[in-house]
Structure 1
């Protein structure tokens, strides 16, 4: 996956686009996360990114980038279909890593604390921080 693709995928989008993405992310994040948790090496960052994207105090552009990355993550079919066990989430990981690199300074302690609480509430087999 090249930089041009990341640039296209991570466009923050206008208000309508962000609103659609937020609804989809709210609805599908946790089911997708539960399927992917063992394959995503940075589960805590992923969940913190989810909370950062939904935080109204997060700047609009940052929310847009995170929502774009999270929307890509929850898509059932993307560049490498998530149905392929070992490599299915590799493109998602690349997109999420790029997004986190772009917005890491906006991911606050409160987002990580919310992530820690959410992960602590997960069944034993899913606790991979």
Structure 2
């Protein structure tokens, strides 16, 4: 996952310059990590963003397009997998960031998103 330049701070990011950070998802735990830019040629040590985990099994695709709702914080978009109980083939969600972590996910596209191969 990548947050584009100057499009919002990561949840719980300290005050200071609004630089583009790299976000990644831990392959096993699903933790979302923020690799903050310190303005040098090298990224600072990663820190875990608070809130939900994002395992590939539960949320196969995830991305950030920066601040999606105008609050100055970089938000996330993700898809879900096929749910045999509801027989839905995957939904698209928007998950807003808050100053303390993640807000409540909002479904913005239902069914069919399980067939999408990538988000960018």
| TM-score above 0.5 | no
TM-score w.r.t. structure 2 length?
Answer: 0.24
Instruction: Tell me which protein shows more helix as a share of its residues.
Output: 1
Larger Rg, first or second structure (1 or 2):
2
Indicate the structure whose relative CO is greater, using CA pairs within 8 Å and at least 6 residues apart: 1
Instruction: Tell me which protein shows more strand as a share of its residues.
Output: 2
